[in-house]
Structure 1
Amino acid sequence: MTLQQAAAQDETGDVQALLGRMTEAWNAGDAAAFAGQFTDEAAFVSWQGNRDSGRAAIEASHRLLFAGPLKGARMDEDGDSTVEITFLAPDVALVVVDEVRVSNSPTALVITLTAVRRGGRWRFASFQNTRKTAEATVTVTAG
């Protein structure tokens, strides 16, 4: 393994750890910890198309959600889920998580995030999730 490969593995691990912290905060219903995984200016778009602009708005909306319709809900990756991390630049990663399930919904989600590293710390600058439908079974990749 080269030094570059080792560094890439470390960075991938750092982004995976960020994703893990976000999931743990969601599962704990901790809006402050959940929002803490995002940049100050992050964009959060829900599957319904609602948009939160900034960490404070993400925290406020999730505080309401975790106290209301998402109380006790857990975010779990399905056994068939995949996590793809693609580095667009040394400090920017595209993260796609397929087949995420929230315990209070029978529908799987696809979550797309942008992770950025600032001051040595990774955080998410964007989050968007989409509900999968039965028709959404084809994935096209360039090849």
Structure 2
Amino acid sequence: MSDEIKALWQRMAEGWANADGERFASVFAEDVDFVNVRGEEQHGRETVAANHGALFRTRYRDTKLTAEVHTIRFIGDDAAVVHVASTVHSGENSTGTHAQAVVRRRDGEWLITAFHNMIPAT
């Protein structure tokens, strides 16, 4: 199960690398609650896909995302809390983030149902 959950972040990074908002957002449940690094709330996979698609065409054009799952804590057979460190690479610059996510297995598929991303204090 842990490998299936870790694969969500691999798929997310693939979507980012291909500047594909739909692929990036495919790891989220249809009804996801998503909070970005600026604290802005987004509701639903379609919104996350559209907003990231716009970012990939502008501010995050030609950037790369890497992610490392730090912990997976199961809170039931079909749910877990996940902590992930990610880095957005842009040329010689990079920005690290930390996310806490709730993942749930529905109909045999793991998806992120709640996601809160932030830039850690330095």
The TM-score, its normalising length taken from structure 1, stands at 0.78
Identity %: 28
Unaligned runs of 5+ residues in structure 2 are none
- RMSD after superposition: 1.4
Match of 2:63 among 63, 73, 87: 73
**Which structure shows the bigger proportion of residues in strand conformation?**
2
TM-score calculated relative to the size of structure 2: 0.90
1:35 — aligned with what? Answer: 25
Q: Please identify the structure whose Cα radius of gyration is greater.
A: 1
Matches within 5 A, 1:15-34: 15-34=5-24
* Aligned-pair CA distance for 1:95: 0.8
Q: How far off its partner does 1:27 sit? A: 1.9
The whole-number CA distance in structure 2 between the counterparts of 1:119 and 1:30 is: 25
Unaligned runs of 5+ residues in structure 1 are: 1-10, 135-143
Q: Distance in 2 between the 1:82 and 1:60 partners?
A: 25
Provide, for residues 20-66 of structure 1, a one-character-per-residue CA deviation record: whole Å limited to 9, x for no partner.
11121122211011111111100111110111100111111111111
CA contact (8 A) 1:116 1:124 kept: yes
Letter in 1 for 2:121: T
1:102-141 mapped onto 2 (5 Å cutoff): 102-104=88-90, 106-134=94-122
